[in-house]
Amino acid sequence: MKSIDQLTTIIHSGIDKINWKKEPRGLYDPIDYVLSLGGKRIRPLLTLMACNLFSDNIQPALNTALGIEIFHNFTLLHDDIMDRADVRRGQLTVHKKWNDNTAILSGDVMQIASYQFIAKTPEKYLKQTLDLFSQTAAEICEGQQYDVDFEKRENVTGDEYLEMIRLKTAVLLGCSLKTGAWIGGAGEEDAKNLYDFGINIGLAFQLKDDILDVYGDESTFGKKIGGDILCNKKTYLLIQAIELAKENDASELKNWLSTSDPTSAFSKINAVTSVYNRLGVKAICEDKMQFFYNKGIENLEKVSVSENKKQELRNLAEKLMLRQE
């Protein structure tokens, strides 16, 4: 078994080896830029770890893992245009550094590149990997569309939100694990359990993100605290707060949700956070996160390999839950 650190090194070296220094440079330079910004590389890591549960040779899963990471970065590139986000990982986003058209077109070719890597999946597993990958990719777009739709809706329920983040975030973790398991030679039940592990850890991961966006430490989180509050993002915290708030809290929340004056940003973040505190929605969100985390661990327990082989995946899941960034 390879350690997380060893696998991460393999992934970084795999990404570094891809040649994006191609013509026309206006098309390929932004891809090189986006992939050089770093990131946790969780998805390809999950692919290799899942493969490694069933096979000592993780090499056959490397291209698939890279394809998934390229796809993930493509979604960030296009999402940043749609969200008008200026900064990603402390650097200018592509549409800010270049322009919208470049970001659209480089994103398009990045999506194609992700399929070129997926196509290098060992032929025995190609068709099923391709189908799961495409289904997952479409689900991610669906999740993004629901996210956009929810911005304009007042009455989003907690369950609708969870379904949205399942599509937008969790399915790609599930896909990463399942394809890795297949390539490692896993049986269908083990592959399914790893997929479900990915879904549940993914849901917990996103809920953690929502909490960090309000309660994180700016110096470690890497993003401005309160961004979700400022743009009235229908996170699990806000949905719970809207459901629970009565009288003064309800009217205060309602007032702040209709305020978009940038000069009152600081007051808005403080006031909404205070409402959250009074209603105890952080604990509700943490409970939900813990619930999915536990479900994920149960899925992992069912995978028919020895406990010590699964230890690294358990460590990774725990690290994602305890993270402050």
Q: Please give the residue ranges that form the binding site for its own copies (CB under 8 A).
A: 23-24, 26-27, 78, 81-82, 100-101, 104-105, 107-109, 111-113, 115-116, 119, 123, 126-127, 130-131, 134-135, 137-138, 141-142, 144-146, 148-149
CA distance 47 to 89: 23
Give min distance, CB of 169 to its own copies, in A.
16
Cβ proximity of 317 and 296 under 8 Å? yes
Cβ proximity of 150 and 164 under 8 Å? yes
Q: Closer to its own copies by CB, 113 or 300: give it.
A: 113
Q: Is the dihedral of CA 283, 284, 289, 292 positive or negative?
A: positive
Q: Closer to its own copies by CB, 27 or 271: give it.
A: 27
Give min distance, CB of 2 to its own copies, in A.
28
Q: Closer to its own copies by CB, 131 or 189: give it.
A: 131
Instruction: Give me the phi and psi of 305, to 5 degrees please.
Output: -125, 165
Q: Closer to its own copies by CB, 49 or 140: give it.
A: 140
Q: Closer to its own copies by CB, 152 or 246: give it.
A: 152
Give min distance, CB of 55 to its own copies, in A.
22
Q: Determine the number of helices (DSSP H) and then strands (DSSP E) in the chain.
A: 17, 2
Q: Where are the alpha helices (DSSP H) in 303-325?
A: 307-322
Could you tell me which of 143, 214, 215, 211 has the C-alpha nearest to residue 173? 143
